Amino acid sequence: MIGASMKNPTIFANIKKQYQSREADRRIVMSKSNEALSKSKRAIFALHRDDLKSAVALMHEADALFLHCEKLFKSNASLKEEGSFRAALEEYAEAQLFLLYTQQEPVDKIAERAMEPAIYLGGLSDCTGEIVRYAMKQVTAGHVKEAARARETVEMIIEFMLDLDLTGYLRTKFDQAKKNLRSLEEMMYELALRGK
């Protein structure tokens, strides 16, 4: 009787197998997510260089990496909440929104996988910083009207987010977006002074 109780219960083997399977999938999700995040960042940089072809190609590569992760979610749904996956999705949302902006499209709907509110709002907040950088580059190149378009877009984003009463992580992002709007307002003020 004592000898039998000292043996590992069968459930231990099952738990071990499930745990090891999830951890193996988690490592894959983390690796693919980090790659997707890098592709999205590089797509943003490509857009700043006016290299649309490279940006679109990089976002397609990120899509393929996300698809690989999503297949693993069928057996391990909790991996959708993995931090690296969510961070990559947010960067991807930012890249997609910034692509819309640079192509003078409405900054609104993007790929369905990045439309979860927390992901979308994080990407939208961060996109305001890219819009400021893009406007600065355009104004420096003599395209001063870009400053007004940038301000109008970021103002619209801020007005939308004001209604949400954001907290925590998203509140921090929103505060940064408000600073980005102030930068654009200062840019517009300086341009007005130069024009006088």
The torsion of the CA quartet 127, 159, 102, 112, rounded to 10 degrees, works out to 70
Q: Is 150 helix (H, G, I), strand (E, B) or coil?
A: helix
Q: What mean pLDDT is predicted for residues 170-181?
A: 96
Our count of domains for the chain comes to 2
Task: Record the tokens describing residue 177, joined without a space.
Answer: 């977006």
Query: Regarding predicted confidence, which is higher, 1 or 70?
Result: 70
Beta carbons of 95 and 130 less than 8 angstroms apart: no
- Flag whether 111 is in a domain: no
Q: Which of 60, 92, 124 is the last residue of a domain?
A: 92
Whether the predicted pLDDT of 2 surpasses 70: no
What is the tens place of the pLDDT at every residue in 35-91? 999 999 999 999 999 999 999 999 999 999 999 999 999 988 999 999 999 999 999
> What is the mean predicted confidence (pLDDT) over 105-116?
93
103 located within any domain: no
Mark whether 88 and 122 lie in a shared domain: no
Q: Are residues 127 and 196 in the same domain?
A: yes
Averaged over 113-137, what is the pLDDT?
Answer: 96
126 — pLDDT class (breaks 50, 70, 90): very high
Query: Does residue 22 surpass a pLDDT of 90?
Result: no
**What is residue 5's predicted lDDT score, i.e. its pLDDT?**
54
The token pair that represents 79 in the structure block: 């991996």
Is residue 146 a part of any domain in this protein? yes
What percentage of the chain carries pLDDT values higher than 90? 80
Q: Phi and psi at residue 135, in whole multiples of 5°?
A: -65, -40
